[in-house]
Amino acid sequence: MSAITAVGDTGVLLGRSLRHITRSLDTVITTAIMPVAMMLLFVFVFGGAIDTGGVPYVDFLLPGILLISIATGTSYTAVRLLTDLQTGIFERFQSMPIARSSVLWAHVLTSLVANLVSLMVVIGVAFALGFRTGAGVGAWLGVIGLLLLFTLALTWVAVVAGLAATTVDGASAYSYPLIFLPFISSAFVPTASMPAPVRWFAENQPVTSIVDTIRALFAGTPVGSAIWVALAWAVGITVVAYVAAQLVYRRRFR
């Protein structure tokens, strides 16, 4: 089957998934509610007690909140995938002359679109809370590109969870560690304030490099080596999760 046919099949199935999203906009809204509520809590309750070196706390906090929004949003991908499996849609697709890869890619692209909308909502609320940035067009494109790449990585992880799960709770549970991970990073407090073992973990896990890169892009300061570490983590997770998803998919539909 040609690449052009696969792209066309993916486009058709993407339209189907997006129509489902528009019929249940509450999922997109719900995805943004928890990160926004968390941002309000930290800015107005904890922000005054955290030393960020003179940086307004909402500016310091936003990159981590954006990653939590992505982790929350991708959990719905796993649930939507499992729902299709349970309703027999996948078996029906298998009997049709369509590219096998298009079924998964439609869910992945739907996740990118839905999460982009949620991220825009979160950033809009951050501006209302006082977030300000001097980032130019290039820096904004860098932020958006990194967020989309991180979304792609976590979405393929969600695909693995959706294919392997047997219940809705099981499909969505994979996101819990991902939502917790930013709390042990530079997302909410500077890592210098952490005990040595916790600090080592925080500085050597993927969230910190991504948060530090986005924070620097928003602030207009040099990103240094953090951007390369962030890209390496995001690309590495994407490749591993993509391969795992293909293996699980083929094993389930031989």
pLDDT the model gives residue 85 = 77
User: HSE (CB half, 13 Å, CA atoms) of 242?
Assistant: 13
**Mean pLDDT across the chain:** 84
Question: H-type helices in 24-183, by residue range?
Answer: 26-41, 57-87, 89-94, 100-128, 137-164, 168-173, 175-180
> CA nearest 81: which of 103, 112, 63?
103
pLDDT the model gives residue 70 = 92
pLDDT the model gives residue 254 = 66
Q: How much is the pTM?
A: 0.89
Taking the C-alpha atoms of residue 125 and residue 141, their distance in angstroms, rounded to an integer, is 20
In the predicted model, what is the mean pLDDT of residues 205-226?
92
63, pLDDT greater than 90: yes
3-class secondary structure for 119-158? HHHHHHHHHHCCCCCCCCHHHHHHHHHHHHHHHHHHHHHH
Percent of the chain residues topping a pLDDT of 70: 87
pLDDT the model gives residue 174 = 75
Taking the C-alpha atoms of residue 145 and residue 242, their distance in angstroms, rounded to an integer, is 19
Measure the CA angle with vertex 49, ends 45 and 52; round to 5°.
115
Under DSSP, is residue 25 helix (H, G, I), strand (E, B) or coil?
A: coil
Q: What is the pLDDT of residues 191-205, one digit of tens each?
A: 888 899 999 999 999
User: HSE (CB half, 13 Å, CA atoms) of 238?
Assistant: 15
**CA distances in angstroms from 147 to 9, 85, 230, listed in the order given:** 26, 28, 11
pLDDT the model gives residue 207 = 93
Cβ contact 168:79 at 8 Å: yes
252: enclosing H helix or E strand? helix 226-252
Q: Is 88 exposed, middle or buried (0-12, 13-18, 19+ CB in 10 A)?
A: exposed
Confidence at 91, pLDDT banded by 50, 70, 90? low
Amino acid at 211: V
Cβ contact 152:77 at 8 Å: no
For residue 25, give every residue at least 6 positions away whose Cβ sits within 8 Å of its Cβ, in sequence order, or none: none
pLDDT the model gives residue 74 = 87
In the predicted model, what is the mean pLDDT of residues 22-39?
75
- Residue identified by tokens 């991902």 is 178
Whole-angstrom Cα Rg for the chain: 19
